[in-house]
Every structure is written in C-alpha cells, then in structure tokens.
Amino acid sequence: MKNGIGQDEAPDRRGRSKPCVFLDRDGVINHDSADYIKSLDEFVPIEGSYEAIARLNRAGRMVIVITNQSAIGRGIIDGSTLERIHERLAEEVGAAGGHITDILFCPHRPDEKCSCRKPEPGMLFEAAARHGIDLSRSVMVGDSAKDIECGIRAGCKTVLVLSGNGRQALESLKNRGISPDAVFPFLRDAVHWIIRQ
C-alpha cells in the first residue's frame, strides 16, 4: 500500500475520531478508461468533482482518495508518473477551494491477493489509523462494486455514483443482494446527502 499527498491530522479537540469522505478516483473524480489512466493528458476531471470536494471540505469533511492502481503492478505506468498525476489532482482541487488530506493507492495486481486492493478494506484501515478517522461515521464513494464492498467491510456508509462503471456496478450489486446506502448520478449530486450523514 502506498500513499501520496498527505498531512497527519489528529483526532478533533474533543478527543473524538473524525468522520471522513473516502473517494475512489477513476470514474468518481476523473473519467475512467478501460486502458488505464497512464499520463497527465489522460487524467480528465468529471465536471463538478473538484467543486464537490471543496463543498465537502467547507462542511468540515476530510477527503481522502482511495484507489486501486494495478497499472503499476502490470508495468503499464511507473510510480513517478502516478505521483505527478496525484500532484496535479491535489493542485487542481486546491485551485477549486478544496483540499485532499491524503491519497492512498494499491499498486498490486488482483492475482497478488494483497490486503489493500479493494474490495479488501486495508487502505481504509490504514487511513483511519493514520488520520484518527471514525470509520462508522465515514462514507465511501465509488463507481464500482469493489468500492461499495470495501466501504461495507470497513463499516462505512456507502454511496454509488453512476459515472464511470456505476450502472454496471449497480446491477452486479443487486444480483448479489448488496445495497449501497445511496445512489447518485455524479459525485456533485451526492454532496448534500453525505453532509447530512
């Protein structure tokens, strides 16, 4: 498990662990690709996603990105390129008035059977330990069945967005009797619901 942008943040002044909004990256913040996001040119934000992060921050929500990046394990992209993509993401969110506290990614291929690749909840547990997060008060937002399963396994509320692979994920989850707590077209549409949690 690797991390990118980040600052340590302790529990709040009353000593309680804090809530967090965990965001999948591809298909939630930026447009996804079946061929992976391999360069800065291929990293294209979904309209309104940066502003949505800023709105969450203004409402007092920490935002952490949790993303599978098996393209590294497959040799399709190197770590320095991924770091540049995440630096740009953090900069552009900052320019929109928001802040990403941390970016955690899993570089492993599915066959490596690691504990951090979603749907395993390892990255959420790591983020919770690092930043003093109360997972039971947190929300995982994703566009795949793996994202929703990961959030459920970690004890979070879950939001499925229909951007990216969301429509296929919704059908897959229904067939397996798994239900996210809420479904919205895009991240920007989910912000009000998330804040109310």
**Residues 26, 32, 102, 147: which is the catalytic one?**
26
Half-sphere exposure of 103 (CA within 13 A, CB side): 22
Confirm whether 24 is a catalytic residue: yes
The Cα–Cα gap between 51 and 93 comes to 8
The Cα–Cα gap between 162 and 143 comes to 6
Distances (CA, A) of 59 to 21, 48, 62, 169: 11, 17, 9, 29
Report the SS3 class of residue 117: coil
The Cα–Cα gap between 64 and 20 comes to 7
**Residues 12, 24, 111, 147: which is the catalytic one?**
24
Confirm whether 26 is a catalytic residue: yes
* Residue linked to tokens 């709040």: 12
Report the SS3 class of residue 30: strand
Catalytic positions: 24, 26
